Structure 1
Amino acid sequence: MEVILSQLIRLEPMNKGWTTIKKSFQSNVIPHKGDIILDSVWKADEEPEVVSVEIHYQENWCMVHLKPEHLKTDDPAYLKDYVKMTKLHGWNSTLETD
């Protein structure tokens, strides 16, 4: 099954900027609410919790929503830099970073 991880990344306040990052992979294991996701993008103490899971059995995929990341800044450049860093770890976003 294709597992799609999705996390909202937002500035403080949110109206200053936000995006969603996603990463997908094939797995026979479906995460559950409350699970902690490990990935090279996060430090050991920053690993997010799964807050919800949507499973689409007919199309063989599931969407795993992670706890949002609140960046403690209102600077849109910081959001772009954060997204650039996640892309180095295989994540995708629609936010223009160039």
Structure 2
Amino acid sequence: MSDVNVQFEQAQQDVQKLPERPGNLTLLRLYALFKQATEGDVHGDKPGFTDIVGKYKYEAWAALQGTAQDAAKAQYVEVVESLKSGASN
């Protein structure tokens, strides 16, 4: 397993142990990076206006279209590391 995969798996565990819940924008960023890292480019239909949360999640993921899965994993790790050090919320 490559180094980025090991770090990504560790970050997935670390994010569950954060002392404080990240803000909604940070959670949305983590969601989008996770989806891009694990599934690749966005697929499926965009949720309608009645599903606000689903719409925002879809749009955040779609914004990462074309990002390599390893790059998304590395970015996910960076965000989790910054949360662990208290740098962003």
Point out the structure with the larger strand share. 1
Same fold (TM over 0.5): no
| Bigger relative contact order (CA 8 A; separation at least 6) | 2
- Please report the TM-score for the alignment, with normalisation by the length of structure 1: 0.29
Point out the structure with the larger helix share. 2
